[in-house]
Chain A
Amino acid sequence: MKFKFTILLAVASLSIFTISCSNRKVTRIDANEQIDINGSWNSTDSRLTAEDLIKQISNDVWLTNHLQAKNKKPVVIVGMVNNKSHEHIETETFMKDLERSFLASQKIGLVQSGKKREELRGEKADQQTNSSVSTMKKFGLENGADYILQGSINSVVDAYKRQKTVTYQVNIELTNIETNEVVWIGEKKIAKYIKN
């Protein structure tokens, strides 16, 4: 009887302790608000990178050169971004902003790449046997890209005791697929001073 009471008391105490510990509070914030918590790469860095790169790519001379030479808007495909920094960084956050800006400006065309392109071709293959002839999409009519967008992220860390400086360098390059000529290199540097 006494043993049972002890167990009951222990369980009750544990429950009270658990409930009292869970004082987590979550509030929605503006996605553009700058909140730095531990100094790592965050949404603000991604946004600043996207904004700067969009400005650079849309105002550069490569676009006018292409329009003069070909008399039609350039078509871009997104290639690989190599993260060589000291942190895990997912570049899709700012690369998607860049892609969206292409479509919004109507000056640069965009074609699908990677896994999504594979899925599209898979769907097209499926249509060859399952869709009606009038709605079936044909192979060999994709838009070929004129340029490929590739990038890299590098970082430099300098730390001693409770002080640290981190510099990120994001480079995005646009290369002519036929000639391998690099027509544009965008750059964004973000430097941070962190004191613990």
Chain B
Amino acid sequence: MKSLLLLTFLLFSSLIINAQDNPDQNPNYQKSMDYYMKQKDELQKTMNTTVQNTYKAFDWYQNKLDKKQQRKDYRQQVRLTRASAPSFYYYPHYTSYNRYHRNWNYNYNDWLFWF
């Protein structure tokens, strides 16, 4: 009976020693462990990847080229807009007086009537 009790005591002692084998370990480590175990999947999402946190650096020359391109695009857009919906005030066709005045209530988007 005595030996059985001794054996049980030894078994429990070894279990306790194994559970906290480093005496320097913070006794509250379980709190932190529980906190991070819950969100480990989220924290590991970027593992082995490159996270792109790039910024836009000011480049005088590139800026100049970009502005030039913007102006070209804007002019092209204006031309396209004028072509798709010619205004009564911008490009009136004085080819024929009667033709010019025959549709006072024309549809502005319907440019086919000019031809």
Residues of A within 8 A of B (CB): 77-92, 113-117, 155, 157, 159-162, 164, 196
Contacts and interface: CB of A to CB of B under 8 A. Distances in A.
Contact of A114 (B44, B51, B53, B54): B44
Contact of B53 (A78, A84, A117, A157): A84
B50 A86 contact: no
Interface string B86-103: 000000000000000000
B61 A83 contact: no
B51 A83 contact: yes
Q: Chain A binding site: helix, strand, loop or mixed by DSSP?
A: mixed
A91 B50 contact: yes
A115 B53 contact: no
Interface of B: 44, 46-62
A155 B60 contact: no
A89 B50 contact: yes
Contact of A196 (B50, B52, B61): B61
Given A78-B47, A80-B47, A164 B61 contact: yes
A150 to B, nearest CB: 9
B61 A113 contact: no
21 contacts: A79-B48, A80-B49, A81-B50, A82-B53, A83-B51, A84-B55, A86-B57, A89-B50, A92-B50, A113-B44, A113-B47, A113-B48, A114-B44, A116-B48, A157-B58, A159-B60, A159-B61, A159-B62, A160-B60, A162-B60, A196-B61
Contacts of A81: 49-51
B51 A164 contact: no
What 10 A-B pairs are tightest by C-beta distance, nearest first?
A114-B48, A157-B57, A86-B57, A114-B47, A80-B46, A91-B50, A113-B48, A159-B59, A113-B47, A78-B48
B109 to A, nearest CB: 26
Nearest to A166: B57
Contact of B56 (A79, A82, A86, A116): A86
A141 to B, nearest CB: 19
A159 B44 CA distance: 38
